[in-house]
Structure 1
């Protein structure tokens, strides 16, 4: 028996690939397996090749696999594009309708199954995804009743008749392939899972859940890939907690409404991708100069312009740190796991109110949309900190205003909400004095700029980076951000087998940059490899800017729209260490 395998289904977008993957992985999750998924899809509603890949394991995993064990194909294009990932024990379950053939050099076993014919016999070709799923599930020798339960959950709302038809399609697909193969494939039999309950969600859902737990009650947003699921989740959930979601006419309206809500005292957020953040930059400056808390999620995708809307990239880092005209206090956090997406969202809301500034939560497409197993969340860890929020203001003299932007040692002024007695003050996007009244005084300008920027010297976050440093002077210190963390860890295991010592540092706080904390780990390493999905080495350049060490820092870049594979990091790092 084996401890892990990879399964992939492919076809034309809109013919059931997504729902098949969802039911298949849900059933595996019910059995207690650890899962990690990756969606390859086109930026269109229907048509164009798409595939979903799931890695299944008896142990925790946080990366996609280099290879493939089972490929479910709805068309020949799926075989031609993906069969090269299969090894000699690999299996292809293909719809017999298109007379599937193996590409030259592929040694996998091909099982033509009348997937479409089975579905049409049941009344409609829509059932073909279940016939295909049943066939591949049966080859693994897993219990059909668990899969059928997942089918019931998926289609139960459509009535008993639809559920029965789908279950029948599963049964017929399973029976046909088992007759062809002579039973389950011995080389594909998984060891039993631990049976423990696990979450199986995407990063966007974890962020949305974190927002609710943090007390967010308002989200204005405009739909965009790969951020839309945050809005969709909160559209269903926030009204249950007295909140609301508004689909705005554009991203400019979204962020300004969120800033307005923050000024009014509500915890508010918006979420978008690179193109949307480009439109938000002026308003982010407004939040900075008015010292208004707001949380903004940037789910990075391939750019520039429309770029690659459905593909992986990590090229917004510079934009998130530097894009606003002028200089403002700003915090940029980059979670790297499902759990961090949840807890960091809560922390983002706390930081926004503690330091009275915009906080940007920086994810990437693979983390945002890649569905993966996660430990159950601990709600006892949640702490709400609203910062220096004033609920009662002292009596003011005649014509005196509340010093909303009072000069303080740490730069953080008392924040008061509209309607609080004696709290009247001005709010404007132009430079202002302590009461918010417009001021062009050079003396006031310098003091006010110093006050705002002083806040950044005092920013404290939970773990500015995650560090696994068993080696005192490693051959390599590998640094990553976002979804690359698990892939780096897997590559390190292979590097260790090669006799190469490594430490791993996953960046979380991008701005203000934690240079002092990072410095000792950089200095002790013989060489530093920075892994990132962009063309210019933005994270590596950020490290050089703050710490120097240009001579020992190497780039490991990938920007073709796909996430890193463990083998790629292993081979590149091995070459750099020798």
Structure 2
């Protein structure tokens, strides 16, 4: 028996590839296995090759694997494109409908199973994915009963007969493969899992849940890959808690409506990807100068322009820090796991209101759409802090023709905030420079006062924000420090033991607060390392440049990948080895 394996299903978009992986992984998750899934798909609604690679283990892991044990193919293209990942002795299970063939030189074992034929005999060819799940389960030694609760959850609304037919399709697939293989397939049976309940969720769902738990009740947004799931989740859930989602005509409207919602006192957010963030930049500046809280999620994807809308990249970093014209205080957070995505979303709303600034929650496609096993979330950790928001106390009487000092210059740079309609809270709000009462002002001295007030309010954030850098400090003096951001964390952690087996002492820092940059938190790690390498999915080494600029440290090496695919552990291992 084995303690982990990697399984992939592939075919044409629109023929149930995603649901095959979903049903397969949900059943294993409920048995207590740890899972990590990554979906490769084309930027079209139907057609084009797609695959879903799922790693199953009895131990925690947060990375796709270098190789592949089992490939389930709904067409020959899947075999041709993915067979090179198979380990020696790996298995291909193909639908006999397309007469699957092994590529020349392949050492894999090929089994043709009539997915479509068996499904059609049961009533509809649409159930071929369930037959494929059954065949895979026979190989893993998973009992058919393990799928009962999953099938009931998905198909119960269609009636008991549909549930029964789908379960029968799984049984038939399992039975056919067992008869075909005759036990001559090698050891693919998994060791028993611990049976504990865990969530298996994508980063976008964790962000949406974090927004809900963090008190958000309004989301204006425009659909875009890979951010749409956040909006889709909240469309279903927000109304249950008195909130609402509005699909806007574009990202400009989405951002300005979110500003309006926050101005009115309702925690509001919007979510998009690089192209949408480009359209939001002027509005983000409006949030900055009016000191109105704002939370935006940027799910990075391949750019520029439309670029690679369904592929992995981390190239929005500079845009999120420097994209707005003029100078405003801004916070950029970067969770590196699905669990962190939940808690960081809650914290994004707290920071936005406490400091009255725009906060960008930066993810990437692999984190937003990649699925990970997550331990039960601790809702006792959810704390809602609204900062200097006056909503209940009486405000001082105003003199005749006087406005409330909404932008009063204070020692910490943060003024008391009121919501519209409050007695004695009348003030002016404008996107031009203004005085303490919000009235437009071009007075040079006032300009300096207001600019200094805004720009200095974040001076202490890096020391107050919990864990701005995830630190894996194994050694007081390391041969190598690997720095990453977002979804590269699990892949880096998997590469480190391989490097240490070769005699290298390796530390790891994952940046979670990109702006303001956590200079002090990284300084000692960089100082105590002989070499520093930054792993990132872009062509220009944006994080590496930030390290050089903020730490005045020039000897930083970059490991870059910008072909649309996430890093594999073996790639980080081999590229790091080249440095020694």
Q: Does 1:132 align with 2:101?
A: no
Q: Does 1:215 align with 2:212?
A: no
- Contact 1:433 1:439 survives alignment (8 Å): yes
C-alpha separation in 1, matches of 2:310 and 2:148: 31
Pairwise mapping of residues 324-473 of structure 1 onto structure 2 (< 5 A)?
324-391=324-391, 392-459=394-461, 460-473=464-477
2:560 to 550, 557, 561: 557
Unmatched 5+ stretches in structure 2? none
Contact 1:140-1:184 within 8 A present in 2 as well: no
Trace 1:40-439 onto structure 2 (pairs within 5 A): 40-183=40-183, 185-391=185-391, 392-439=394-441
Match of 1:500 among 498, 504, 525: 504
TM-score calculated relative to the size of structure 1: 0.99
Structure 2 partner of 1:4 = 4
Q: Deviations over 1:276-326 (max 9, x none)?
A: 000000000000000000100000000000000100000000000000000
Shift of 1:161: 1.8
**Offset at residue 372 of structure 1 (A):** 0.9
Equivalents in 1 of 2:520, 2:377: separation in Å? Answer: 31
Q: 2: distance between equivalents of 1:154 and 1:92?
A: 27
CA displacement 1:73-132 (0-9 Å, x = unmatched): 000000000111111221111011111111122111100011111111122210111111
Give the RMSD, CA atoms, in angstroms.
0.9
Aligned match of 1:527: 531
Name whichever of 409-418 and 361-370 sits farther off: 409-418
Partners of 1:499 and 1:185 lie apart in 2 by: 37
Matched residues in 2 for 1:245 and 1:68: separation? 41
Partners in 1 of 2:388 and 2:460 — Cα distance?
14
What's the offset of the Cα at 1:189? Answer: 1.0
Distance in 2 between residues matched to 1:477 and 1:295, nearest whole Å: 32
Question: Is residue 141–residue 184 contact of structure 1 (8 Å, CA) maintained in 2?
Answer: no
The SS at the match of 1:400 is coil
Q: Distance in 1 between matches of 2:122 and 2:474?
A: 59
1:574 and 2:577 correspond: yes
Q: Report the Cα distance in structure 2 between the residues aligned to 1:185 and 1:22, rounded to whole angstroms.
A: 24
What SS does the aligned partner of 1:559 have? coil
Structure 2 CA distance for aligned equivalents of residues 38 and 128 of structure 1: 22
The residue matched to 1:413 in structure 2 has which SS? coil
Secondary structure of 1:568's match? Answer: helix
Aligned residue for 2:458, secondary structure, equals helix
Is the 1:138–1:184 Cα contact (8 Å) retained in structure 2?
no
CA contact (8 A) 1:355 1:412 kept: yes
- Mapped contact 2:89–2:186 kept (Cα < 8 A): no
Cα offset, 1:149, TM superposition:
2.6
Measured after TM superposition, the shift of residue 186 of structure 1 is 4.5
2-structure distance, mates of 1:363, 1:489: 18
- Farther off after superposition, 416-425 or 289-298: 416-425
Take 1:358 and 1:388, find their aligned partners in 2: how far apart are those partners? Answer: 16
- 1:173 Cα deviation (Å)? 1.0
- Counterpart Cα distance in 2 of 1:214 and 1:115: 45
Q: How far 1:517 sits from its partner (Å)?
A: 2.1
Give the TM-score of the pair, scaled to structure 2.
0.98
Shift of 1:185: 4.1
SS of equivalent to 1:50: strand
Query: How many pairs are equivalent?
Result: 576
Runs of 4+ with deviation above 6 angstroms: none
Correspondence 1:486 to 2:490: yes
Any idea what SS the aligned residue of 1:343 has? helix
State the Cα distance separating 1:184 from its structure 2 match: 7.8
Tell me, in whole angstroms, the C-alpha distance in 2 between the residues paired with 1:569 and 1:124.
45
User: Residues of 2 paired with 1:169 and 1:144: CA distance?
Assistant: 10
Q: Determine if the alignment matches structure 1 residue 509 to structure 2 residue 513.
A: yes
SS in 2 for 1:550: coil
Which residue in the other structure is 2:28 paired with? 28
| Contact persistence 1:139–1:184 (CA under 8 A) | no
Long gaps (5+) in structure 1? none
